[in-house]
């Protein structure tokens, strides 16, 4: 680690501690050249996959886009923000656990559908109507039948 005071690369670790949440390590260091002390933090850098859209375009996975989808689906619905945050965290964890470099947007959409089905049936129908491009009332009837049934199982996507 380079000393921020004199630029020397010769530093020593004096003390290491895990942070309160447990997601980073705090290291107290001392520069061998100028004897000044400084603190560094070490955290894990997770690489989320690229999302492959149906038209073939790729974009970075963005939890903010998922949040917008939840907000639109749950507009004026009695669902606490903490529940939405937890659902988004579960989706991000699912995506990370796949260990893939790319993930189809359809798969992400299905994950959102599953979480909405658990949170709010009206929000689920709202999201489904846009996500699945409902064309007529029969599409809504089919979605209502899904709401009355147990939560949908994740769909397998072809690679």
| Window from 6-15, 75-84, 100-109, 126-135 with minimum mean pLDDT | 126-135
Same domain flag for 111 and 128 = yes
Beta strands in the chain (DSSP E): 11-18, 24-31, 37-43, 50-52, 58-60, 102-104
pLDDT in tens, 13-30: 999 999 877 888 999 999
pLDDT in tens, 54-99: 899 999 999 999 999 999 999 999 999 999 999 999 999 999 999 8
Q: From residue 39, how far is each of 1, 19, 24, 32, 43 by CA, in Å? A: 11, 13, 13, 14, 13
Here the tokens at position 52 are: 């492959």
Report pLDDT for 156. 59
Q: For the whole model, what pTM was predicted?
A: 0.64
| Position 22 in a domain | yes
Residue 158: pLDDT band with limits 50, 70, 90: low
| Position 158 in a domain | no
- Burial category of 137 from C-beta neighbours within 10 Å (exposed 0-12, middle 13-18, buried 19 and up): exposed
Report pLDDT for 152. 57
Residue 125: pLDDT band with limits 50, 70, 90: confident
Same domain flag for 35 and 100 = no
| Position 55 in a domain | yes
pLDDT in tens, 66-76: 999 999 999 99
Same domain flag for 126 and 75 = yes
Report pLDDT for 114. 92
| Position 1 in a domain | no
Domain span including residue 93 = 50-148
Strands 50-52 and 102-104: parallel
């Amino acid at each position: 680690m380079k000393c921020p005071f004199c630029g020397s690369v010769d530093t020593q670790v004096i003390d290491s501690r895990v942070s309160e949440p447990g997601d980073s390590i705090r290291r107290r260091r001392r520069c061998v050249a100028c004897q000044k002390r400084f603190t560094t933090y070490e955290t894990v850098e997770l690489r989320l996959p690229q999302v492959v859209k149906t038209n073939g375009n790729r974009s970075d996975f963005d939890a903010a886009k998922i949040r917008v989808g939840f907000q639109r689906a749950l507009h004026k619905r009695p669902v606490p923000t903490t529940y939405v945050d937890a659902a988004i965290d579960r989706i991000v964890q699912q995506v990370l656990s796949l260990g893939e470099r790319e993930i189809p947007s359809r798969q992400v959409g299905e994950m959102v559908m599953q979480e909405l089905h658990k949170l709010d049936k009206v929000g689920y129908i709202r999201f489904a109507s846009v996500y699945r491009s409902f064309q007529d009332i029969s599409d809504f009837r089919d979605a209502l039948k899904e709401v009355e049934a147990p939560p949908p199982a994740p769909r397998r996507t072809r690679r």
